[in-house]
Structure 1
Amino acid sequence: MDQAQTRAERRALNQRRHAEQRQQAQQDRGPRGVAELWWDQARAIARARAEGGDETAWNDLATTLANYCDRYSR
């Protein structure tokens, strides 16, 4: 590893590697694993947007999930 690499850069690289490994493991599980990846991604996006003062993503996610549940719970 390059000595000039900062602690933040190393952390970011490790996070990306971990995310890639997790993504591959979830994809190997098939549709259920892929759905879990999307769920995690959706929550992360909504959380980040809310931290910036925008609750729109949470509202949109809630609406999307309500529509999904309505469609498949019948």
Structure 2
Amino acid sequence: MANFQERLKSLKNESSTSYQELAEYLGISLRAVQHYASGARTPDLEGLIKIADFYEVSIDYLVGRSDERERS
């Protein structure tokens, strides 16, 4: 299964959004989002929830615990 960094990159590539748009949605810097994508940092729980909401996927999918995208 994929890990968080792989899923984040994949979701970004599949969507028509940029890391800058994600950063603005999260209220953090672009550099912080780039650190998430590189694996240098991981978001806190609130950040994970917001990222899952942004891409409309479940947290389990986002962190690689499930291949099911749908939120329950």
Flag whether TM exceeds 0.5 (same fold).
Answer: no
* Structure with a larger share of its residues in helix: 1
- The structure whose RCO (Cα within 8 Å, separation 6+) is larger is 2
Superposition TM-score, scaled by structure 2 size: 0.22
Larger-gyration structure (1/2): 1
TM-score (norm 1): 0.22
